[in-house]
Structure 1
Amino acid sequence: MSPVNTQNLLMQMRALAAQAEQIKPDAVQQTEAPQGAEAFADLLKQGIEGVNAEQHKASELKQAFELGEPGVELSQVMLQAQKASLSFEAMTQVRNKLVEAYKEVMNMPI
């Protein structure tokens, strides 16, 4: 691998910036949502449904253990509760990052 030449990189960045300035905002029009947006929405929905399933499974195991059903051990209940908690926490972090990104985009000058 060759070392990065900063002068060449700087010239390329300036050339790209000049090209970007030439594009007029009204020339860029989208009539349909990009395919990636639909895939992202589906992925987000699947993630939320997965977290919901983990929460329900933990609740069902807890109730089965409380009722004394055979085959349900405390270790299973605790493990599933931790899985549900961890998945919910991860979903919360994703939500926070999305809200942060949305705010950042909304604060961008037009």
Structure 2
Amino acid sequence: MIQNNMFNTQVVQPLQMQNASVSKPSTPAETIQSFGTYLQEALGSVAAQESQAHEMSNQFLLGNVNVDQVMISSEQALLSLQLTTQVRNKVVEAYQEIMRTQM
């Protein structure tokens, strides 16, 4: 079974109505810090998938795993890396657009 570990959907909680008096509004610094933490965890997940793909390749050379397991692991790592690259490209593109509009 193929699983996407970059965006773990099992952790996502269903949307619920929140009372305005119960939730504390976060400051911009807290928001940036939580976004930075999220990005760091996502990049760590991509790196973990890359290392798992390398380990699976090594195990295949030793004869411990099948070729289909190696291919699935390497394709998962490749797709995660491609997604990360596309997200990075969009962020750079958005930053360049912001810089163009400020002048």
TM over 0.5: yes
Amino acid at match of 2:73: Q
User: Structure 1 residue 34: deviation in Å?
Assistant: 2.5
SS of residue paired to 1:34: helix
1:105 corresponds to: 98
- What is the CA–CA distance in structure 2 between the aligned matches of 1:105 and 1:37, rounded to whole Å? 18
Across the aligned residues of Structure 1 and Structure 2, the Cα RMSD in angstroms comes to: 1.5
Tell me by how many angstroms 1:36 deviates.
1.3
How many residues end up aligned between the 2 structures? Answer: 77
Q: Could you say which structure has the larger radius of gyration? A: 1
Q: Partner of 1:46 in structure 2?
A: 41
Name the residue aligned to 1:75: 68
* Deviation (angstroms), 1:104: 1.1
Q: Deviations over 1:28-81 (max 9, x none)?
A: xxxx85221111111111111000000000000001101222xx1111000000
Question: 1:1-110 to 2 correspondence within 5 Å?
Answer: 34-69=29-64, 72-109=65-102
Structure 1 segments of 4 or more deviating over 2 A? Answer: none
Which structure is higher in helix share?
1
Which residue matches 2:5?
A: none
Unaligned runs of 5+ in 1: 1-31
User: For 1:33 and 1:89, how far apart are their aligned partners in 2?
Assistant: 30
> 1:27 matched to which residue of 2?
none
| TM-score, reference length from structure 2 | 0.69
* Alignment match, 1:23: none
Structure 1 residues 99-108 or 84-93, which shifts more?
99-108
In 2, Cα distance between the equivalents of 1:89 and 1:65?
24
TM-score (norm 1): 0.65
User: How far apart are the structure 1 equivalents of 2:82 and 2:88?
Assistant: 10
CA distance in 1, matches of 2:38, 2:70: 28
State how far apart, in whole Å, the 2-side matches of 1:58 and 1:64 are. Answer: 10
